[in-house]
Amino acid sequence: MKLRWQIFWHIFIWLALMAFFLFIAHNGAKYSVTDQLIIFLLYPVINISLFYLNYLLLIPQFLNKKNTVITLLPSLLPW
């Protein structure tokens, strides 16, 4: 799949998920529309951007170092 299509589908699915939860919460809402937009759009956008920052930039740089898994293995073992 081409990169543009991957980006399109990622954005589409994330927006659909956020819209779905916003729609469900709007039916019997105790919050105002502004509060709901902050809860269901702003917070997920922050979390999604942090996820992709880690997934695309930080984790590959960390794992590309030589023998990363071998170095970390003793620290993960309980004994």
On whether the pTM is more than 0.85, the answer is no
Residue 37 near residue 23 (C-beta atoms within 8 A) = no
User: What pLDDT does residue 79 have?
Assistant: 58
Give tens-digit pLDDT for 11-46. 899 888 888 887 777 666 687 878 877 887 888 888
User: What pLDDT does residue 54 have?
Assistant: 84
Question: Which long-range CB contacts under 8 A does 15-18 form with residues at least 24 apart?
Answer: 17/44, 18/44
User: What pLDDT does residue 35 have?
Assistant: 82
Sequence spans of domains, the chain:
3-76
